[in-house]
Structure 1
Amino acid sequence: MLTRLFRGRRPPAPDPAPDYVDVAHAGSVFRVRVVRRAGVKRFTLRVSLATGTATMTMPARSDIAAARRFLDAHGDWLAQRMQSVPGRVPFEPGALIPLRDVPHRIVHWSGLRGQASATVDAAGAPIISVTGEAPHVARRVRDFLQAEARRDLSQAVARYTRALGVPARSITLRDTKSRWGSCSAQGRLNFSWRLILAPPLVLDYLAAHEVAHLRELNHSDRFWALTHELCPATPQAEAWLKRHGSLLHRYG
Structure 2
Amino acid sequence: MIALLKPSYRDGDTVDFGAYRVKLAVNPRARGVKVRIDRMGNVVATAGKPGKLADAVAFTRTQHDWIVKQLDKCVQAERFTPGQVLTIAGLSVILAEKAGVISPRLVDGQLITSGDEATYARRIERWLRQQALKALTKETDAYALKLGFTGVKSSLFDAKGRWGSCTPARKAIRYSWRVILAPPSVLSYLCAHEVAHLRHPDHSPRFWAEVTGLYGGDYRPARNWLKTEGQNLFKYQ
Give the TM-score, by structure 2 length.
Answer: 0.68
Rg: which structure is higher? 1
- What's 2:92 paired with? 103
2:206 matched residue in structure 1: 222
Structure 1 moving runs of 4+ over 3 Å = 1-7, 54-59, 85-89, 131-135
- From the superposition, tell whether residues 180 and 236 of structure 1 become closer, same or farther in structure 2 (CA, over 3 Å): same
Q: Which ranges in structure 1 are unaligned for 5 or more consecutive residues? A: 8-40, 60-81, 121-125
Unpaired segments ≥5 residues, structure 2: 1-22, 48-70
**Contact between 1:105 and 1:128, CA under 8 Å: does it hold in 2?**
yes
Q: Which has the higher helix share?
A: 2
Whether the aligned pair in 2 keeps the contact of 1:205 and 1:234 (CA below 8 Å) is yes
- Structure 2 residue 120 is matched with structure 1 residue 154: no
> Partner of 2:168: helix, strand, or coil?
coil
Q: Which amino acid aligns with 1:98?
A: T
Matched, 1:174 2:157: yes
User: 2:104 aligned with 1:116, yes or no?
Assistant: yes
Question: Which one is further off, 150-159 or 186-195?
Answer: 186-195
Query: Does residue 209 of structure 1 match 2:228?
Result: no
Q: Deviations over 1:161-188 (max 9, x none)?
A: 1111113542221122232111113221
Give me the CA root mean square deviation.
2.9
> What is the aligned-residue identity percentage?
31
SS in 2 for 1:173: strand
The aligned counterpart of 2:146 is 163
Residues 196-250 of structure 1: per-residue CA shift (max 9 Å, x gap):
0000010011111111111111111111101100102412211221221111112
Secondary structure of residue in 2 paired with 1:228: helix
Aligned to 2:61: none
State the Cα distance separating 1:87 from its structure 2 match.
5.4
Aligned to 1:189: 173
Question: Secondary structure of the equivalent of 2:161?
Answer: coil
8 A contact 1:205–1:233 mirrored in 2? no
TM-score, normalization: structure 1? 0.64
Contact 2:24 2:44 (C-alpha < 8 Å) held by counterparts:
no
Q: What does residue 37 of structure 2 align with?
A: 46
Quote the Cα distance in structure 1 between the aligned partners of 2:206 and 2:224: 21
Q: Partner letter of residue 160 of structure 1?
A: Y
